[in-house]
Amino acid sequence: MLPACISNELTLDDDPIIRYTKAAQTVFVQLTKDAPTITPTSTELPTLTAEPPTPTPTTTTPTLTPEPSLTATAEIQPTPTDTDPNELIDKAQLVLYAPQVDQIYSPGGIFEAQVGFRNVGPNTWNSGYSLRFLNGNSFEAAGKYTLESFGSQTIVAPGAEVAITIPAMTAPTEPGTYVSNWCFYNNREEQGLPPQCFYIVSFQIIVQQ
């Protein structure tokens, strides 16, 4: 006995594989329809500027100028000249002094004064050297006492000594303290030059009743 005939014939839509394929196509079409339209835009690439080449350092060799050669020359020495006529050359050291400072005298009293010098300079003293009054109270003495007339010797070589004596001085008549200033002079008058004072000595006395 034959099976009963199937009255309904199978169609392509009844195939499950075909139905799945069609459904997938429908979804793809729908997604494509709903998607926004994207217009491609062109992006400008930045223009590249070529960097300048790095300068290559150059080395300049300086030109050396030769220094002039030094020629040894003899040193020029100053020409000796005469001694300055105003230069003080004479020197003395006091070795004797009388009367003592603040020696007391009566008004109008007479006394003797004496000084002694050592020659510590380069010159030899001669008879023209003298002790001369400068200022203060002269005690009535003369103004000048030379080695020739009042010195213990007239020629005094370097290192030697001489004493000069003032034989009479007179004390003032009024009480008080008095000073008499004197100086030892050289004898440049013989050379036509003014004499030079090179050692000052003072006599100081007291006058009492």
Give the C-alpha separation, 133 to 125, whole Å: 19
Q: Give residue-wise pLDDT tens across range 180-193.
A: 999 999 999 888 99
Q: Give residue-wise pLDDT tens across range 52-74.
A: 555 555 555 555 555 544 343 33
Q: Which of 180, 156, 155, 151 is nearest to 167 (CA)?
A: 151
Give the C-alpha separation, 121 to 77, whole Å: 27
Helices (H), the chain: 16-34, 147-150
Looking at residue 128, its pLDDT comes to 96
* Residues with Cβ within 8 Å of residue 167, at least 6 apart in sequence: 112, 150
- pLDDT(116) > 50: yes
Query: Which amino acid makes up residue 133?
Result: F
Looking at residue 51, its pLDDT comes to 54
Q: Name the 3-class secondary structure at 189.
A: helix
Q: Which of 177, 189, 188, 184 is nearest to 201 (CA)?
A: 184
Give the C-alpha separation, 183 to 197, whole Å: 6
- pLDDT(29) > 50: no
* Residues with Cβ within 8 Å of residue 102, at least 6 apart in sequence: 177, 204, 205, 206
C-beta of residue 181 within 8 angstroms of C-beta of residue 198: no
Looking at residue 190, its pLDDT comes to 87
Give the C-alpha separation, 113 to 5, whole Å: 193
Looking at residue 11, its pLDDT comes to 46
Q: Which domains does the chain have, with CATH numbers?
A: 92-207 (2.60.40.10)
Question: Is the Cα dihedral 137, 140, 141, 143 positive or negative?
Answer: positive
Per the model's pLDDT, the better-predicted residue between 10 and 134 turns out to be 134
Residue 129 vs residues 14, 136, 190: alpha-carbon distances, Å:
170, 22, 11
Looking at residue 53, its pLDDT comes to 54
